[in-house]
Amino acid sequence: MINANPQNVSKQTTTQHLNPTQSPEVKPKLEFGTVQISVILGIIFTAIAAYISKILWDKRQRFKKASDDFRSVFDRAIYILETKQFCDREVLREEFPVHEKAMIQFRDHLKARTSRRCCKDWEEYKQHYENRTNVPILCLIGTEAIDPARIDDPTHHAEVEKFRRQQILDHIKKLRSYTK
């Protein structure tokens, strides 16, 4: 029996011309909303990532500025301690209040764990400041000698002065290490 419908005949011949061993390829239809939803989700994800990156970048910039300010507060004391013949007590009396103000501003920019370590090192520096500056005048002579047997030796006084300066520099170095 021959099919008299010409449409059926053309479909059969078209199918046979494609590939007689394979069935015709059927492409899945994309629905109208599928592409738009993935584009919208991509835009939302990108916007959130950009927002978070901006917040982290701004926070880092604030930390860098606070670090630079904190580090620079110690420059004068370091210069005096390394270059001038000056009593360490005078440097502490003049510079410690400035250092303290800078510390109060800087510690807010540190993470909790780092802040605790920095505050511990600050307390050691503060204790050194108090021990060196809160000394009665009559006791000053006795506090400057490390070795009482060498109290009349002029080189001993130079060694003591160098030792005292180095103590302050060590405290400052510890505190400045938190600015990295």
Stronger pLDDT, 172 or 133, i.e. the higher one = 172
Residue 6, pLDDT above cutoff 60: no
Q: How many CA within 13 A on the CB side of residue 164?
A: 22
Q: What pLDDT score does 34 carry?
A: 72
Q: Please give the sequence-ordered ranges of beta strands (E in DSSP) within the chain, or none if there are none.
A: none
- Cα dist. 49→54, 57, 107 in Å? 9, 12, 28
Is 106 a residue whose pLDDT tops 70? yes
Give 108-150 pLDDT, tens digit per residue: 999 999 999 999 999 999 999 998 888 766 455 545 555 556 6
Helix and strand totals (H; E) in the chain: 7, 0
pTM: 0.67
Query: Are 40 and 138 within 8 A, CB to CB?
Result: no
CA gap 52, 72 in Å, rounded = 30
CA 158 to CA 26: how far, in whole Å?
95
Asked if 122 and 175 count as a contact pair (C-beta separation under 8 A), the reply is: yes
CA distances from 156 to 89, 91, 149, 150 (A): 18, 21, 10, 6
Answer whether 172's CB lies under 8 Å from 126's CB.
no
Q: Which one-letter DSSP state was computed for residue 145?
A: -
**pLDDT tens digits for 12-69?**
555 555 555 655 666 666 566 677 888 899 999 999 999 999 999 999 999 999 999 9
Average model confidence (pLDDT) for the chain? Answer: 81
The tokens describing 90, both together, are: 């005078």
Q: Which two tokens stand for residue 161?
A: 């002065």
d(C-alpha 107, C-alpha 123), whole Å: 13
